[in-house]
Structure 1
Amino acid sequence: MSLLSLQGVSRRFGGLNALSDVTLDVEPGEIVGLIGPNGAGKTTLVNVVSGVYRPTAGTVTFDGQRIDGMKPYQISRLGLARTYQVVQPFPEMTVLQNVTAPAAFAANTHSLVEAEEKAREAIEFLGLGAQIDTPAAELTLAGRKRLELAKSLAMDPKVLLLDEVNAGLNHTEIDTALHLIRTIAERGVTIIIIEHLMKVVMNLCTRIVVLHHGAKIADGTPEAVSHDEDVIKAYLGRRYAELAALRRKEETNG
């Protein structure tokens, strides 16, 4: 049984089909990249899975339990956490306070002391230990991105949905973020990541799903998806495909 399963999921907003009959199965341990042009339906899909929106049609099943129609807090308590593209911590609260809140709310902790301990663990893991008592408003963008990850990780997720966690970061910060994501996956967390940087997707993900106009147009290994003609036309572009082929040829020739 798949850990997360979407069957025929659609979501309409008036006359707009933001998602159209999307079927997707995610297995434990996968790192799935979700890519596509702006407006393709990527964030809408994450919002449907996490309970922000109800699907207009179709079903969503998580860990053997149907969750479409559940409230976001109910879904999070089952072990599904997410980050947001625009990070919005509580600015006047410290890093510790920001992370303790979701740990107390959704991590099956039995006391505030236990929640704080879990928060401290996530903060140290994300490299924010030196700023544990710093107000969130004083963090850099990279620090706020790490804080967002810490908040989600403190919830003890089985599945972590990441919405453009690398947006706005420089090359060094992106490399650090990729290392952290890989380490999270090694701890047994299944990951679905929305990402526009193809270098990140190709190096990080075990599988890539491509959306276009709300429909799934490709689903496969990074290698297979980068060769898919529909994906090249809709998103990657011919120039990217040619450069990728050239890089592969150079690697093959040593």
Structure 2
Amino acid sequence: MSALLELRNVSRSFGGIHAIRNVSLTLQPGQIVGLIGPNGAGKSTLVNIITGVHPATSGTIVHKGERIDRLKPFQISARGIARTFQVVQPFPSMTVIQNVMAGAMFAANIRSMDEARSVAMEHLTFTGLAAMADRPAEQLTLANRKRLELAKSLAMNPHILMLDEVNAGLNTSEVEQALDLIRAIAARGISIVIIEHLLKVVTGLCSRIIVLHHGELIADDPAADVIKDPRVIEAYLGSKFAQRQMVRHG
């Protein structure tokens, strides 16, 4: 199966700081992939590179057989690569449905307001926000602002969706609801890359986990293998986890 997205020796430097070093990986259609690593490992930077926010210093990014590493963010999103942000910032004075309509008209080749409204309402229904469509976005709770972020991204008609800590700040019940929504998105055939700090979330959700440390890729394997990888344990999971693993498997 041809890769939907391929990174080849991608690096990014900011002055003398190497944020990403020679990362190579592929994304296949329909996968849910976890992206983990310690704070400062380069996770958000890697998503920013893929989506064109920061151009790669070196290396290439290929999407559906064509290079995209020199395209602008709006060009990449128009190709079907969408993302959410760790800090959700809807247009506060606009209504919920207007926020989603903006996403639809920006990247989904929708030109009429009526069509944009119809598409927006479809995604608001899917994300459980239909009853709040005419409410100002600034009135939403954090959990619902995160749902709005998903609805805006889905309105861009993506086939790749990158989620940057979509569960941050949510309580246990809200996290479970968010995970159900992510699974429902994946069931639509959308490939998902999720940055997540909760190991229980990525091991329960993702078929594969990518681990970054100091900007370098140190693991790219099935979840069951990643949590037993000595390099991952040392860099990310910590000595207490390593000791529990030794007791469990000793």
Identify the residue that residue 138 of structure 1 maps to in structure 2: 139
TM-aligned CA distance change 1:103 to 1:248, over 3 Å: farther
Report the CA distance between 1:131 and its aligned residue.
0.4
RMSD between aligned residues: 1.4
Identify the residue that residue 48 of structure 1 maps to in structure 2: 49
| Unaligned runs of at least 5 residues, structure 2 | none
For the residues of structure 1 that align with 2:245 and 2:74, how far apart are their CA atoms?
A: 42
Give the TM-score, by structure 1 length. Answer: 0.95
TM-aligned CA distance change 1:226 to 1:14, over 3 Å: same
Identify the residue that residue 164 of structure 1 maps to in structure 2: 165
For the residues of structure 2 that align with 1:243 and 1:115, how far apart are their CA atoms?
A: 52
Report the CA distance between 1:110 and its aligned residue.
3.7
For the residues of structure 1 that align with 2:102 and 2:249, how far apart are their CA atoms?
A: 46
Report the CA distance between 1:193 and its aligned residue.
0.4
Alpha-carbon contact 1:102-1:154 (below 8 Å) kept: yes
SS of corresponding position for 1:227:
coil
SS of corresponding position for 2:227:
helix
TM-aligned CA distance change 1:246 to 1:145, over 3 Å: farther
| Higher alpha-carbon deviation: 230-239 or 177-186 | 230-239
SS of corresponding position for 2:99:
helix
Identify the residue that residue 232 of structure 1 maps to in structure 2: 233
Identify the residue that residue 22 of structure 1 maps to in structure 2: 23
Question: Deviations 1:171-192 (Å, cap 9, x if unpaired)?
Answer: 0000000000000000000000
Question: Deviations 1:79-103 (Å, cap 9, x if unpaired)?
Answer: 0000000000010100000000010
Which letter maps to 2:154? L
For the residues of structure 1 that align with 2:67 and 2:89, how far apart are their CA atoms?
A: 29
SS of corresponding position for 1:130:
helix
SS of corresponding position for 1:162:
strand
Report sequence identity in percent: 59
Identify the residue that residue 79 of structure 2 maps to in structure 1: 78
Report the CA distance between 1:245 and its aligned residue.
7.1
For the residues of structure 2 that align with 1:242 and 1:168, how far apart are their CA atoms?
A: 29
Report the CA distance between 1:112 and its aligned residue.
2.1
Report the CA distance between 1:243 and its aligned residue.
4.1
Tell me whether 1:58 sits opposite 2:65 in the alignment.
no
| Higher alpha-carbon deviation: 42-51 or 102-111 | 102-111
SS of corresponding position for 1:193:
strand
TM-aligned CA distance change 1:188 to 1:248, over 3 Å: farther
Report the CA distance between 1:109 and its aligned residue.
1.9
For the residues of structure 2 that align with 1:72 and 1:203, how far apart are their CA atoms?
A: 31
Question: Deviations 1:48-91 (Å, cap 9, x if unpaired)?
Answer: 00000110000011122210010000000000000000000010
Which letter maps to 1:167? A
Identify the residue that residue 200 of structure 2 maps to in structure 1: 199
| Unaligned runs of at least 5 residues, structure 1 | 250-254
Question: Deviations 1:79-136 (Å, cap 9, x if unpaired)?
Answer: 0000000000010100000000010110122422212111111101000011010101
SS of corresponding position for 2:7:
strand
Give the TM-score, by structure 2 length. Answer: 0.97
| Higher alpha-carbon deviation: 233-242 or 118-127 | 233-242
Pairs aligned (count): 249
Which letter maps to 1:116? R
Identify the residue that residue 183 of structure 1 maps to in structure 2: 184
Question: Deviations 1:14-47 (Å, cap 9, x if unpaired)?
Answer: 0000000000101001000000000000000000
Q: What are the residue-to-residue correspondences of 1:83-98 with 2, within 5 Å?
A: 83-98=84-99
TM-aligned CA distance change 1:245 to 1:127, over 3 Å: farther
